């Protein structure tokens, strides 16, 4: 089954050759593909939004704040992405899309729907969405036919777009591979134990056996774990107990600030990311500026050179080139005060330190304290007194740590705590990615692809790495300029016209195909080719206008836990039961030498595998794209 969705975000087609010219992939900056520091910081803030939303839904005294604590912030296209998508069938293709020949047949079928170029001589670039194998197949088919005579034979006009649902299934399977072990069924709080306690009967090790149940499980576990960790910082033991620190008589702003502060502490406690210097090392390798003999990563200065010299960081968190050699900065020694590389950075309100990422805290204070781990701090190294609940007159110990995560890192001998932190972070990332899809936030989805590219590499998902590289290259300038905005925004569909009702196009395709196969199956397989085409046009309730298929039902009603399908209150009771039942398990307290059965010596720290080779691999993929564009195999 094939279908098309009308673009909800419309862009004027630019006919000027200058306006539509595309860049060579090799000329693109390394951070077209890799997450820059500001991208990682923004993901961290999105995780805070997720935790704050969880707290407001389950903590009784916060529920009147829920409307101000969405799981994902609004964006410039929120209203547009809340509109119901217009979907139409494009018929069926009697072939196996899992083969190169099958993909070629599908693309030949779709050519009749490609819009003609306004300049003539071919088709206007058109997005074609699919899962990992489909995108790989399209690119392979285009490579195979690169030397054909006509644009139709070369299968030109298609811009393959990898989708979110297929990627999420992959990451759910990765999560299961790490966190689901049958031997841990007796270990309180593990997924195997929770599966039995809360009757997730259809949850399986292999995610494809029941994707929905896998999503339900990780959503449930993430909410429970996040609340357990939040209670730790609230100093309470119940979701109904009001913490002493909560400003019950304060303004709404004070209450929201309190929630965000606790949520920030939860995220800081569980957060892990590859060393940013390792990401920079991959970027240097992409630009062929890597000293392979040197083990230490060189944080890249604007000079793009390797020097045996001390470096300094610009204190503007949004600075595009934050690290500088002292000589390049015109300095002979490291200054004691904050340093900014230019006047624009000096004027910026953004700040590289503290959880607020601002020069002043909410009270206007500037006094700060440094974590004893200094540059190895897992948090933000320097903190405003106001942002961590201190008064300017408070006296701190000589060795002050920003939190347990830094105080305990040196020990790293509580493997239950390591497991709890890693599982919570894994789940929060699942929810944050899903929130970006549901709200149709294109720029955030692009940033997630950059962060996920690191996971594809470290977890050895080479095909996904290649697809991510292709998509990010297109967004970064490899595609024609007049289609880049559509690549960013028109990559999901909204089947019910709800504010958070967007889904990946590959997910909707699966629903349509399932419906069609059910229709065909009702005829006991006695269907001619002509009859099959007719059935494709009437698949579903409404005939060929697919949007009507999902009125009041369809995928958006299934992406909830089984408990939520019955009643929200039952789901909340399950979450409360999970939190109450695990209060005595000390899952977020430090108790040395603990370990869950099945997770002996669990570490959970994230390391970017072989970053130099990652940079070289990305460069090779860029060269391959340029070769394809030149019409070579």
User: CA dihedral in degrees (155, 156, 161, 166; nearest 10)?
Assistant: 10
* The predicted structure's pLDDT at residue 588: 93
| pLDDT 10s digits, 65-112 | 999 999 999 999 999 999 999 888 888 888 888 888 899 999 999 988
* The predicted structure's pLDDT at residue 389: 85
Helix (H) or strand (E) holding 513: helix 505-521
- CA atoms of 514 and 522, how far apart (whole Å): 12
| pLDDT 10s digits, 601-612 | 898 888 898 999
pLDDT at 406 over 70: yes
CB 205 within 8 A of CB 197: no
Alpha-helical runs (H) found in 522-610: 529-537, 562-566, 568-581
- CA atoms of 249 and 255, how far apart (whole Å): 9
Helix (H) or strand (E) holding 271: none
pLDDT at 540 over 60: no
Give the number of residues written for the chain: 633
Helix (H) or strand (E) holding 407: helix 404-409
* The predicted structure's pLDDT at residue 302: 67
pLDDT at 327 over 60: yes
pLDDT at 254 over 90: yes
DSSP 189: T
* The predicted structure's pLDDT at residue 532: 61
| pLDDT 10s digits, 554-595 | 444 444 444 444 467 788 899 999 999 998 899 998 888 889
* CA 467 distance to own-chain centroid: 15
* pLDDT: which is higher, 565 or 247: 247
- Rounded to 5°, angle at Cα 283 from 166 and 410: 85
* The predicted structure's pLDDT at residue 593: 85
- CA atoms of 245 and 235, how far apart (whole Å): 9
What would the two tokens of residue 228 be?
Answer: 């357990």
CB 628 within 8 A of CB 620: no
CB 443 within 8 A of CB 31: no
* The predicted structure's pLDDT at residue 217: 93
- CA atoms of 263 and 52, how far apart (whole Å): 5
Q: Which pTM value belongs to this model? A: 0.78
- CA atoms of 535 and 526, how far apart (whole Å): 12
* The predicted structure's pLDDT at residue 559: 40
What would the two tokens of residue 24 be?
Answer: 């060579």
* The predicted structure's pLDDT at residue 531: 58
Looking at residues 235-257, what average pLDDT do you find?
Answer: 95
* The predicted structure's pLDDT at residue 296: 35
* The predicted structure's pLDDT at residue 401: 83
| pLDDT 10s digits, 487-534 | 999 989 998 888 889 999 888 888 777 766 666 666 555 656 665 665
What would the two tokens of residue 201 be?
Answer: 């009967």
Best mean pLDDT range from 184-198, 407-421, 537-551: 184-198
* Closest of 407, 500, 382, 426 to residue 273, by C-alpha: 426
Task: Work out the mean pLDDT of the chain and round it to a whole number.
Answer: 84
* The predicted structure's pLDDT at residue 317: 83
| pLDDT 10s digits, 214-239 | 999 999 999 999 999 999 999 999 99
* The predicted structure's pLDDT at residue 519: 62
Close Cβ partners of 540 (under 8 Å, ≥ 6 residues apart): 512, 515, 546, 548, 549
DSSP 339: -
| pLDDT 10s digits, 141-191 | 888 888 888 888 888 889 999 999 999 999 999 999 999 999 999 999 999
* The predicted structure's pLDDT at residue 518: 64
């Amino acid at each position: 089954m094939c279908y098309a969705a009308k673009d909800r975000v419309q862009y004027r087609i630019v006919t000027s050759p200058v306006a539509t010219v595309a860049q060579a992939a090799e000329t693109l900056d390394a951070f077209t593909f890799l997450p820059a520091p500001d991208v990682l910081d923004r993901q961290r803030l999105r995780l805070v939004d997720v935790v704050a939303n969880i707290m407001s839904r389950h903590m009784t005294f916060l529920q009147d704040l829920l409307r101000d604590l969405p799981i994902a912030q609004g964006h410039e296209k929120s209203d547009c992405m809340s509109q119901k998508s217009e979907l139409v069938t494009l018929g069926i293709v009697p072939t196996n899309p899992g083969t190169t020949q099958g993909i070629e047949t599908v693309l030949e079928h779709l050519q009749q729907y490609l819009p003609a170029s306004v300049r003539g001589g071919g088709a206007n670039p058109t997005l074609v969405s699919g899962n990992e194998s489909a995108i790989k197949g399209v690119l392979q088919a285009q490579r195979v036919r690169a030397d054909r005579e006509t644009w139709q034979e070369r299968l030109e006009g298609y811009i393959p777009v990898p989708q979110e649902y297929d990627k999420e299934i992959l990451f759910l399977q990765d999560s299961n591979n790490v966190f689901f072990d049958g031997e841990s069924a007796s270990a309180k709080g593990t997924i195997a134990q929770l599966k039995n306690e809360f009757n997730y009967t259809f949850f399986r090790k292999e995610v494809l056996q029941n994707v929905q149940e896998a999503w339900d499980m990780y959503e449930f576990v993430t909410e429970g774990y996040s609340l357990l960790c939040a209670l730790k910082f609230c100093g309470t033991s119940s979701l109904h107990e009001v913490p002493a620190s909560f400003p019950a008589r304060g303004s709404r702003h004070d209450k929201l600030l309190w929630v965000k502060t606790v949520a920030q502490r939860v995220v800081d406690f569980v957060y892990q990311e590859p060393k940013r210097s390792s990401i920079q090392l991959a970027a240097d390798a992409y630009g062929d500026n890597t000293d392979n003999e040197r083990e230490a990563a060189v944080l890249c200065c604007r000079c793009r050179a390797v020097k045996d010299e001390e470096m300094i960081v610009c204190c503007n968190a949004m600075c595009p080139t934050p690290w500088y050699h002292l000589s390049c900065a015109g300095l002979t020694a490291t200054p004691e005060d904050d340093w900014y590389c230019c006047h624009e950075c000096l004027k910026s309100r953004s700040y590289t330190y503290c959880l607020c990422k601002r020069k002043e805290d909410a009270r206007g204070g500037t006094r700060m304290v440094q974590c004893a781990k200094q540059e190895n701090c897992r948090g933000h190294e320097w903190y405003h007194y106001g942002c961590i609940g201190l008064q300017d007159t408070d006296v701190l110990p000589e060795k002050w740590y920003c939190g347990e995560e830094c105080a305990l890192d040196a020990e790293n001998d509580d493997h239950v705590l390591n497991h709890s932190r890693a599982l919570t972070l894994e789940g929060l990332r699942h929810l944050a990615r899903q929130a970006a899809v549901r709200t149709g936030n294109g720029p955030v989805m692009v940033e997630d692809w950059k962060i996920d590219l690191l996971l594809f590499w470290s977890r050895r998902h080479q095909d996904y790495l290649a697809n991510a590289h292709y998509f990010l290259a297109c967004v970064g300038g490899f595609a024609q300029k007049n289609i880049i905005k559509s690549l960013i925004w028109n990559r999901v569909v909204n089947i019910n016209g709800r504010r958070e009702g967007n889904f990946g196009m590959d997910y909707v395709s699966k629903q349509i195909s399932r419906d069609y196969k059910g229709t065909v199956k009702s005829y006991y397989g006695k269907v001619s080719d002509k009859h099959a085409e007719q059935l494709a046009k009437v698949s579903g309730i409404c005939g060929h206008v697919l949007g009507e298929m999902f009125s009041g039902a369809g995928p958006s009603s299934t992406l909830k836990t089984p408990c939520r399908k019955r009643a929200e209150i039952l789901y909340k009771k399950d979450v409360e039961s999970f939190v109450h039942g695990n209060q005595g398990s000390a899952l977020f307290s430090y108790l040395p030498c603990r370990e869950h059965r099945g997770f002996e010596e669990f570490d959970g720290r994230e390391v970017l595998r072989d970053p130099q080779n990652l940079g070289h691999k990305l460069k090779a993929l860029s060269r391959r794209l340029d070769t394809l564009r030149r019409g070579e195999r």
